Amino acid sequence: MTFLPIFIQLQDRRCLVVGGGAVAARKVGRLLRAGARVTVVAPTLCRELSERRDLGEIEHKARAFARQDLDGAWLCIAATDDGTENGAVSALAQERHIPVNVVDDPERCTFIMPSVVDRSPVQIAISTGGASPVLARLLRARLETLVPAAYGRLAALMGAFRERVKQRFRDVGARRRFWEAVLHGPVAEMLFAGRDEAALAALAKALDEGSEAPLSVGEVYLVGAGPGDPDLLTFRALRLMQQADIVLYDRLVAPAILDLVRKDAERVHVGKARDEHRLAQKAINDLLVDLALEGKRVLRLKGGDPFIFGRGGEEIDTLSAHGIPFQVVPGITAASGCAAYAGIPLTHRDFAHSCVFVTGHLQDGSMDLNWDVLVQPRQTVAVYMGLSGLPVLCRELITRGMPPTTPAALIEQGTTARQRVFTATLEGLPQIVAEQDVHAPTLVIVGEVVRLREKLAWFAPGDSR
């Protein structure tokens, strides 16, 4: 069966809902959001509908449906749990040409209610013609992830400028090119980043200058790609990955994540393995500036979170000095990702009230860390870049007063299909790791919370291999 998709104006119009249960309540909610005046006919109401009645949001007729309930109705929904009664409502409504929907009974419907992705004033309605509401909901969930929450604000902004743009560009083609440039360029991005005022000003400026390509200077997205599992990307990261012209990525970014970058975007590997700095940090900073000045949308993709041991701050410092627009997208940092996937809560009421993140990077064979802070009790220590320095790390912690029996874990390639977790005491961990063929990246967690893994481990990648 094919339906014609339409959007219907119900502001202040009377709609009839027959039935007072949870399903009816859902439909009533949607009608009210569209501004309808709703009458519910049902002997009894569920809690949500009683509350609405008490608040005066709906009119309630506490009895069974009667033919005259349809008088004056613009639309009718039958949502009782009695198929015969629903059928009778539908037949009477159809006799009077009143659009009617019978819940879960497409045969008796003259209209169906789609699943909706609501970014008012933008609304995306999805229908499977009644064949599979579950599939419609699944599609809706996918679209929810693809369409930024700020689309509503974008549409509202474009609506507000519509007349002025029409005046400015008489030619339909020029108008279309202008709006396309707005949608694909910095104006939209500013709005998505919550900089509504800047977006408005940029749009006004572009219009004043009469240019079809507002703000053709490029921009940089500094994006955290998380610790490895592509499912841990944020919606915003994914969206920017799909619109960038060029991507500069680190060694730590997993191939499965790079696969999600726009297919035709240029890919540049900028390092850095521990001893092989592909491009020095300064060269990366300069490259970002040059590419953005060429007008490119540059994705700077970093493992984990860009602001945690990622030198993200330095990179955008250079951008800001050159006045280049940028935005920063947080990612799940290795400590969070590895801890979660290893079943080790970083804090816990009984074991750790604080958590510190440090790097265990060796400089001339030693680690420059504030050891007194690290050996505090009831604290978890997460150590990044600590593989080659592991023996030094454990030895120093013990020397500075941490009990040698403190539980410790090393997580190799956390959150990925190759994750391995080694647990031991602080004293025993280096030996255990030395006996295995362990590869970076690894994260070390030291503290009583490591004990919880015994009960809380849930992720067993070996099972699915």
Please give the residue ranges that form the binding site for ligand SAH (CB under 6 A).
Answer: 227-228, 252, 302-305, 308-310, 333-334, 338, 384-385, 411, 413-415, 440-443
Catalytic, out of 250, 296, 302, 305:
250
CB 62, CB 39: distance < 8 Å:
no
Closer by beta carbon to ligand SAH, 72 or else 313 = 313
Active site residue 272: yes
Active site residue 463: no
Closer by beta carbon to ligand SAH, 308 or else 402 = 308
Q: What is each CA distance from 301 to 163, 233, 312, 399, in whole angstroms?
A: 39, 11, 10, 39
Report, in Å, the least distance between residue 385 CB and ligand SAH: 4
Report, in Å, the least distance between residue 299 CB and ligand SAH: 16
Report, in Å, the least distance between residue 163 CB and ligand SAH: 47
Closer by beta carbon to ligand SAH, 80 or else 380 = 380
Report, in Å, the least distance between residue 254 CB and ligand SAH: 8
Nearest residue to 415 via CA among 452, 442, 382: 442
Catalytic, out of 61, 245, 272, 286:
272
Closer by beta carbon to ligand SAH, 191 or else 308 = 308
Q: What is each CA distance from 86 to 82, 104, 168, 397, 437, in whole angstroms?
A: 6, 10, 54, 72, 67
Residue, CB closest to ligand SAH: 304
Closer by beta carbon to ligand SAH, 185 or else 226 = 226
Report, in Å, the least distance between residue 335 CB and ligand SAH: 7
Report, in Å, the least distance between residue 273 CB and ligand SAH: 10
β partners of residue 108:
none
Closer by beta carbon to ligand SAH, 66 or else 273 = 273
Nearest residue to 397 via CA among 426, 432, 425: 426
Closer by beta carbon to ligand SAH, 25 or else 340 = 340
Closer by beta carbon to ligand SAH, 109 or else 346 = 346
- The Cα–Cα gap between 241 and 254 comes to 14
Active site residues: 250, 272
